[in-house]
Chain A
């Protein structure tokens, strides 16, 4: 049975540029989620989505590995106590950089928690993401 999601994506950018984008707090905040993040093993990070009237989801966890170009952290949504693992791996290729992303442990979400969280995600999370997307668009348009 599948317990993880894996993604691969190519970027036409040098490995260092992509590494900074996924590991530096200010850059993560620019494209992903507002982040208090440092690529230091043991660092307790927090991702906070932009607030809306419902309040937004917080993601927290600990950096487990930060060794260019592999970044691993635990991923705990709000107060679910369900710990999943997110792993980013970068590989330098001719065209630029290949990203391999793996989010594992997803089957740990179960029962009532899963249903409740899923619904709150649908209400709150997508709102936060779209707010973030709007924010990014404004940034780009302004720039």
Chain B
């Protein structure tokens, strides 16, 4: 599990990879490595490396059709983290309000 998260962080830490991920996320259909390469000023080899890192993190999955490889984005790993962040956001807000009430009622008298 620790390993998985390290991969996710590694994948998302690089600005180019974030751009590639974003480009995949906003297109309705999968993009081939060639199409992605055309959008960025990086070699095909460089793009392939970035895609591999994103794939390792579960952010991209690849389908092979003939000679081309098509990339799809998956935001699921990020959504799960987001769910937790939202939960704890609410949890700590409530808790700190409770702390405030506690201090105001029990310490002011």
Contacts and interface: CB of A to CB of B under 8 A. Distances in A.
B81 A101 contact: no
Contact of B107 (A17, A113, A118): A17
A82 B1 contact: yes
A82 B1 CA distance: 9
Contacts of A107: 5, 8-9, 81, 84
A21 interface: yes
B contact residues, range: 20 to 34
A121 interface: yes
Interface SS of B by simple majority: helix
Interface of A: 1-3, 5, 7, 9, 11-13, 17-18, 21-22, 27, 30-32, 82, 99, 101, 103, 106-111, 113-115, 118, 121, 125, 129, 132-133, 136, 140, 143
Interface SS of A by simple majority: helix
A94 B67 CA distance: 69
Given A1-B9, A118-B83, A30 B100 contact: no
Interface string B33-45: 0000000000000
B64 interface: no
A-B pairs with the 10 shortest C-beta distances?
Answer: A31-B102, A107-B81, A114-B80, A109-B84, A1-B12, A31-B98, A9-B96, A13-B103, A106-B84, A5-B88
A31 B89 contact: no
Contacts of B106: 30, 143
A9 B89 CA distance: 14
B99 interface: yes
B103 A11 contact: yes
Contacts of B93: 7
Interface in B66-106: 77-78, 80-81, 83-85, 87-89, 91-96, 98-106
A29 B36 CA distance: 55
Contacts of A99: 96
B15 to A, nearest CB: 12
